[in-house]
Amino acid sequence: MPTVKENLDFWSNYYWTESGDEWSEAWGNSDYVWYGTILPRLQYLLPASSILEIAPGFGRMTNYLRKYCDKLTVVDLAEKCIDACKNRFATDKHINYFVNDGKSLAMIPDKSINFIFSWDSLVHAEIDAVSSYIKEFSRILKPGGIGFIHHSNMGTYLVDDKLTVDNPHWRASNVSAKIFNELCLKYKIPCISQEIINWGGNILNDCFSLFINNKSFKPSIIRENNNFMDEIARLKNLFELYFISKKSQ
């Protein structure tokens, strides 16, 4: 769980009450997610000439990525999401949109992407989809190109095909930081670093993996961050103290 079909059914029928921004409420809003959590991790990787975003939903992070590239390609398995992005970013002529099958990127030319990004989406992708994507990443990344993927680490807690912990956030049960790292090595896009985090609770259920299209790259820094929820709480506190809506000014 969850399968590609289950993902397609769920996100195609999800109401998207605030166009995906509802998933940012723990930080305060999406600005605090991007500027407080994501950009500090990616500040030396952006801008990038050509960016691919996988599973953008209704464009929560697309709204920021579009400002850091000459060309942005967004790919989602839910046509509803791609249609929403097309409408939201209708004036941005440098964005291309594609609906895929949840595991392949045949529409992306070889060696055409400088930076690959996915946030808060591929955590729901099981190993069949993740493995297929990593194989595609090795094909589409330019030499020296880099990827940042937020994925599940629940496979760490899988014993005899059963999870030994609760899985309240619908994470993929058979993907882990270790497996992701091994797949990247297999397809010659080794991980630069992996930050294993506690998303929404106390267990280390998620991972941010950074990888590069450079098969000779050796260092792989792997660190456990048990304080990720503290980071979110700190940002929520700043939001509550300092956020002022432009409508109120």
Which pLDDT score is estimated for 182? Answer: 97
Band (218; pLDDT cuts 50, 70, 90):
confident
Angstrom distance (rounded) from CA 80 to CA 57: 9
Band (220; pLDDT cuts 50, 70, 90):
confident
CATH number of the domain to which 46 belongs: 3.40.50.150
pTM of structure = 0.96
Residue 247 has pLDDT above 80, yes or no: no
Which pLDDT score is estimated for 244? Answer: 83
Give the rounded percent of residues in the chain with a pLDDT score beyond 90: 93
pLDDT, tens digit, for every residue of 1-38? 689 999 999 999 999 999 999 999 999 999 999 999 99
Summarize the confidence of residues 196-202 as an average pLDDT.
96
Which pLDDT score is estimated for 248? Answer: 61
Q: Give the closest residue to 73 by CA, choosing from 140, 6, 150.
A: 140
Q: Give the closest residue to 120 by CA, choosing from 191, 28, 55, 65.
A: 55
Residue 249 has pLDDT above 60, yes or no: no
Residue 144 has pLDDT above 90, yes or no: yes
Which pLDDT score is estimated for 2? Answer: 86
pLDDT, tens digit, for every residue of 70-110? 999 999 999 999 999 999 999 999 999 999 999 999 999 99
Read off the tokens for 190. Answer: 């080794």
Domain boundaries, position 122 = 4-248
Summarize the confidence of residues 142-166 as an average pLDDT.
96
Residue 237 has pLDDT above 60, yes or no: yes
Number of domains in the chain: 1
Residue 176 has pLDDT above 80, yes or no: yes
